[in-house]
Structures are given as C-alpha cells and as structure tokens.
C-alpha cells in the first residue's frame, strides 16, 4: 500500500528549490546588498568546485503551451559551484546558474546557497536575503503582468463595422 507522505528530505528539497529560484532571478546589486547586510562578518572561506563560467543552454518551447516541444534557441548562462570550508569540518556545496554573463552574481548566489545549508546562517539569510529578494522578484513579475494586461485586446467584444 502506497502512502502519500513525502520522504523526510522532500520538504528541505522544496525549500532549496524555492530559494534557488529566487537567487536565479535576483539582480546582482540587490543580492550583494542583502548578503552584506545579513552577514555580520566576512563569509566563510570556500574552494571552487567549478569557478564561474559562461556558456549556452538550449531553450525549448511548446506549441500552444501544451503541444509538441521544439528548440526555440540558445541563451547565455553563467554557472558556479563552490564548497564552504567550515570550522566544524562540514563542507556544504553551493550552486548557482542564471541567464546572462555575470560571474559575480553567480558567485554570490552560490555562496548564499551554501550558507543557507548551514543551520547557523539559515534563519538569518532566509529573513534578510531570500524574503526581501522574493518580494522584489514578485513585484517585478506583477508589474510585467499589469503592463501586459493594459495592452490586452478582447477581439470577441469588439463591434463589427458592417
């Protein structure tokens, strides 16, 4: 008999998925300012597993949003992976990938990702980095949706000129 309960690590995986989405959309200046304000001292030292690098990723679309998939084109992405050197011997790994060519932004996002996996930093970074950045990302999305809504045309309500 199958149960619908999620495995114990599923909640943590969902939380990481959410903060990674925020980090991928946050502008560098806002990310840097939020991280500087949240950390009381310099961040822990880290080693690069994959230094920031710029490459291409294929973007796929679907016909009508639900139909057959097709290759839309390529976008430039930057990715980075680092491992923190913690005093207690733990070594959380931080990862970042975002569209664009900003290596510093990828470094900052990977650092925040790694720090969010450390219990001593998690609550403070969620409150001072992720929550404000998520609010700004949602605000920008709402602005774009409002702008698109202002240009919407209802073809079925237009009067015919017969």
**Tokens 């450390």, residue?**
118
Tell me what pLDDT residue 103 has.
97
Tell me what pLDDT residue 6 has.
45
SS (H, E, C) 73-131: EEEEEEEEEEEECCCCCCCCEEEEEEECCCHHHHHHHHHHHHHCCCHHHHHHHHHHHHH
What is the Cα–Cα distance from 109 to 81, expressed in whole angstroms?
Answer: 10
Domain ranges within the chain, ordered by starting residue? 11-157
R_g of the chain computed on alpha carbons: 20
**Helices 103-115 and 28-38, axial angle in degrees (round to 10):** 40
- More confident call, 70 vs 63: 70
Tell me what pLDDT residue 88 has.
83
> Is residue 151 scored above 80 in pLDDT?
yes
**What is the per-residue pLDDT across 35-44, written as a single tens digit (0 to 9) for each?**
998 988 888 8
- More confident call, 55 vs 15: 55
Tell me what pLDDT residue 9 has.
54
> Is residue 86 scored above 60 in pLDDT?
yes
**What is the per-residue pLDDT across 124-138, written as a single tens digit (0 to 9) for each?**
999 999 999 999 999
């Amino acid at each position: 008999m199958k149960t619908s309960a999620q495995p114990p690590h599923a909640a943590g995986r969902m939380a990481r998925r959410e903060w990674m989405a925020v980090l991928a959309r946050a502008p560098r200046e806002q990310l840097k300012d939020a991280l500087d304000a949240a950390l009381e001292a310099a961040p822990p030292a880290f080693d690069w597993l994959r230094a920031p690098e710029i490459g291409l990723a294929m973007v796929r679309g679907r016909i009508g949003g639900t139909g057959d998939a097709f290759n839309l084109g390529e976008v430039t992405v930057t990715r980075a992976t680092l491992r923190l050197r913690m005093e207690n011997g733990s070594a959380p790994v931080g990862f970042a990938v975002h569209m664009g060519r900003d290596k510093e932004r990828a470094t900052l996002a990977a650092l925040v990702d790694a720090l969010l996996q450390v219990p001593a930093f998690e609550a403070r970074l969620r409150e001072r980095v992720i929550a404000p950045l998520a609010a700004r990302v949602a605000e920008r999305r709402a602005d774009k949706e409002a702008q698109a809504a202002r240009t919407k045309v209802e073809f079925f309500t237009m009067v015919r000129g017969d």
